[in-house]
Amino acid sequence: MFHRMWDHESMHHHHWHAGRGGHWGRRGGPPGWFGDFFGPPPRAERGNVRYLVLDAIAGQPRHGYEIIQAIEERSGGGYRPSPGVIYPTLQLLEELGHAHMVERDARKVFGITEAGKLDLEAHKEEVSDFYEQFQNDAWERQIEDFGDLMRRAARLFKSFRRAARHGHMSPGAQAKVRKVLDDAVNRIEEILNEDARL
């Protein structure tokens, strides 16, 4: 992992471009290494996809591809559900009586029913919470902030390499540095554990 940190030492000058919706990467979303540190980008839980679908058809009937596009656009390009997720969800919503198929321009599209509107209203906060993850350039802020931490860590490794190259790290110095690092790591772990409990 550390050699990858060195590769991204000058992250601020790396040639990333904001994709549609302002997210990083050539096709939108975070850069490839983002998941190494933060986990995968936000995705809808299987049980919550149906509310995203209901939200997508609440304003107007849509066919499957239009639903995918509507969800992708509202998430700023951050989440694009696959057809393998959307079409079984539409079938489920039909079976529940929350969506129904209608004709539009000789094409079958899905509209929301009264029962679907009630279901969506009961879970509107879940829909809002999901899309809020993609607002206000949240990924870019995390990337920039984490990049700053990585550059600070890189300075530490540079100091070690420089000292080792010139033979300037005596056993006494190593012991002192080890104590400083142990104290720092313990404190960092405390901070991260506290943050995880918030």
- Binned at pLDDT 50, 70 and 90, residue 146 comes out as confident
Closest CA to 56 of 47, 193, 65: 65
Distance of CA 112 to the CA centre of its chain: 29
86-144 pLDDT tens trace: 999 999 999 999 999 988 888 889 999 999 999 999 999 999 988 887 775 555 666 67
Greater pLDDT, 55 or 24:
55
Phi-psi region of 24 (alpha: psi -120 to 50; beta: other; left: phi over 0): beta
pLDDT given at position 16: 37
Query: Does some domain include residue 111?
Result: yes
The residue-averaged pLDDT of 39-47 equals 55
Question: What would the pLDDT profile of 2-13 be if each residue is shown by its tens digit?
Answer: 344 334 333 443
87 belongs to a structural domain:
yes
Confidence of residue 17 (pLDDT cuts 50, 70, 90): very low
At 47, the amino acid letter reads: G
In a domain, 91, yes or no: yes
Work out the average pLDDT over 153-170.
Answer: 83
Helix (H, G, I), strand (E, B) or coil at 88: helix
Q: Which domain does 94 fall in, by range?
A: 46-132
Q: Does 90 reside within a domain? A: yes
Range in 11-25, 136-150, 152-166 with the lowest mean pLDDT:
11-25
Number of domains within the chain: 1
pLDDT at 174: 86
pLDDT at 24: 41
DSSP state, residue 42: P
Report which of residues 28 and 180 the model is more confident about: 180
pLDDT at 41 over 60: no
Residue 180 maps to a domain: no
- As a whole number, the mean pLDDT across the chain is 77
The answer to whether residue 119 is domain-embedded is yes
Residue 65 within a domain = yes
pLDDT in the model for residue 130:
87
User: What single-letter DSSP state applies at residue 41?
Assistant: P
User: CATH number for the domain including 54?
Assistant: 1.10.10.10
Nearest to 73 by CA among 134, 32, 128: 134
Residue 6: what residue type? W
Looking at the domain assignment, is residue 50 inside a domain? yes
pLDDT at residue number 157: 86
